Chain A
Amino acid sequence: MYVAVKGGEAAIANAHRLLADRRRGDRSLPSITIEQIVAQLGLAVDRVMAEASLYDRAIAALAIRQSRGDMIEAIFILRAYRTTLPRFGYSVPVETSRMLVERRVSATYKDLPGGQLLGPTFDYTHRLLDPSLLRDEQVEEPLQRDGEQEPVMRVSDILAGEGLVEGDGELPAGHVPGDLTREPLEFPMARDLRLQALARGDEGFLLSLAYSTQRGYGNNHPFVGEVRMGEVEVELDLPELGFAVSLGRIQVTECQMITQFKGSVKSPPQFTRGYGLVFGQNERKAMSMSLVDRALRTDEFEEDVVSPAQDEEFVISHSDNVQATGFVEHLKLPHYVDFQAELDLMRRMRREHDERSREEPGDDTLEAAQ
């Protein structure tokens, strides 16, 4: 007989009150402000925005504070928040070629128009703990360089001049960009929809998959054609006025990964490309995304699917950390009835097994005696 059980309301309320206390921590310390999180934990904010697929620094910082720094919890909160808002529309595609570049490096060309601009990077730091940060340290103003800056040309355009690299990525005429927030996922999917899924995918998952392609699970020999980071304009068409207006700028990181390709019946030998575009400053994610994007393009290049990173359904179905955490973490919620049923079944199986063993003493008892 199934008996519905209620209870735990007081326990839940008290647990949440305890959570609020632990979140706040030592009251003798000042409470951390949203502005401080945005300004001083900016890359955590960027990661939450990217994987929540919602760009808003203040709200992401609020979610980080609310989740005590649990990034996936913060992402979850942002995903829930976005469902409360109406959709105004789709932006005009952002022009990364017109980005206000804060960083741009290329591993394929040393001297290129615009140059190698390191920007604010952890690269070439020694990863030694800095004791000066134990205190409220004084920080020097950045240096400035005079003179006209060259336009920062896209590396893919340099290679395209020779015709040795494939184009930017075209889909059949009249293709409407898929939107996974509007339609359920179906496999196989077009590259645009895959990129949307990868852009919000878990950084750790994509990083591991990207790493697997380098270690031989998916045949890639990649070069970073270019990584660039900076601000782009977001423009929205206003039908009532008949033109698009800028809503402001957002920061994004873009990666153009270039890989070798021997050629097939359909196409001559050429370099192929993987593409990564991510909210905020996050080149680890942009690079991982571009490697996985390239690995997933097996059908375009008649490549055999032999590795996990090439398996579209495997990658895309498991890249979303809100879905993943929901399904994994639900296991801790009450399963009393499910388990009771399994327990009854297990007892019956054991009883039947024991009865069989008594009826025909033989191998089993012998083994037990040994």
Chain B
Amino acid sequence: MAPGVNQIPSDIAPERRREAMGLLAKATRSELEQAWAALPKRPEAEPVRGPETGLVMVRGRIGGGGQPFNLGEVTATRASVRLQGVVGHGQALGTDGEKARLAAVFDALLQLPEHAPAAERLLAEIAERIEGEDTRKARETAATRVDFFTMVRGDD
């Protein structure tokens, strides 16, 4: 990370931004592309870093909750852009550079009052899709839950 890339303060709460970046990481490339194409005014995004693909070493915990250990690596791609004076960061699993760049663009848009509503609409759309997929998966798994019953043996 080049020094001083995120000097302009944004009034978005860190917790909201963290959540937003997590959703942008789970966005599909086409969700990002469509949201970008749907913007009435598309500000110019100047690349600050990347997109670059690299590895993140995923850690687990011994016994599930103990000391960390290194489980194995995962591919990840990140990008940073400057847009109307604010810097956006995008990062996601995989090797899709354009997806990381667009995620960075929307991270920047979220920090600009003028564009935040459009970014929020995209985030709501992503969150809704993920919730739908998770719910369906959970319900499919629930259908495979074992219901035990007791066999009555003998007369009484």
Give residues in A with beta carbon < 8 Å to B: 49-50, 53-56, 58-59, 82, 85-94, 96-97, 100-103, 110-111, 115-119, 142-147, 149, 154, 156, 167-171, 175, 177-181, 191-193, 195-196, 199-200, 233-234, 236, 238-250, 252, 254, 256, 273, 275, 277, 279
B1 within 8 A of A: yes
Within the complex, which residue of B54, B66, B71 is in contact with A88, where a contact is CB–CB below 8 Å? B54
Q: How far is the CA of A225 from the CA of B57 in the complex (A)?
A: 28
Q: How far is the CA of A179 from the CA of B54 in the complex (A)?
A: 17
Min distance, Cβ B46 to any Cβ of chain A, angstroms: 17
Give residues in B with beta carbon < 8 Å to A: 1, 5-6, 14, 17-18, 21-22, 25-26, 52-76, 78, 89, 91-95, 134, 136-146, 148
Interface of B is mostly: mixed
Q: How far is the CA of A91 from the CA of B63 in the complex (A)?
A: 18
**CB-based contact B55/A88 at 8 Å:** yes
**CB-based contact A56/B74 at 8 Å:** yes
A177-B67, A256-B64 known; A102-B93 Cβ under 8 A: no
- List chain A residues, Cβ under 8 A from B65: 97, 154, 156, 168
Q: How far is the CA of A213 from the CA of B114 in the complex (A)?
A: 65
Min distance, Cβ A258 to any Cβ of chain B, angstroms: 11
Within the complex, which residue of B67, B74, B78, B136 is in contact with A175, where a contact is CB–CB below 8 Å? B67
Min distance, Cβ A87 to any Cβ of chain B, angstroms: 5
22 contacts between A and B (CB under 8 A): A54-B75, A56-B94, A56-B95, A59-B75, A86-B54, A91-B59, A144-B140, A144-B142, A145-B142, A145-B145, A146-B139, A154-B64, A167-B63, A169-B66, A177-B69, A181-B73, A193-B69, A245-B18, A246-B25, A247-B74, A248-B94, A279-B72
Number of A-B contacts (CB under 8 A): 235
Q: How far is the CA of A93 from the CA of B69 in the complex (A)?
A: 8
Q: How far is the CA of A64 from the CA of B59 in the complex (A)?
A: 26
**CB-based contact B63/A156 at 8 Å:** yes
**CB-based contact A169/B6 at 8 Å:** no
Within the complex, which residue of B1, B53, B69 is in contact with A240, where a contact is CB–CB below 8 Å? B1
- List chain A residues, Cβ under 8 A from B140: 142-144
**CB-based contact A239/B1 at 8 Å:** yes
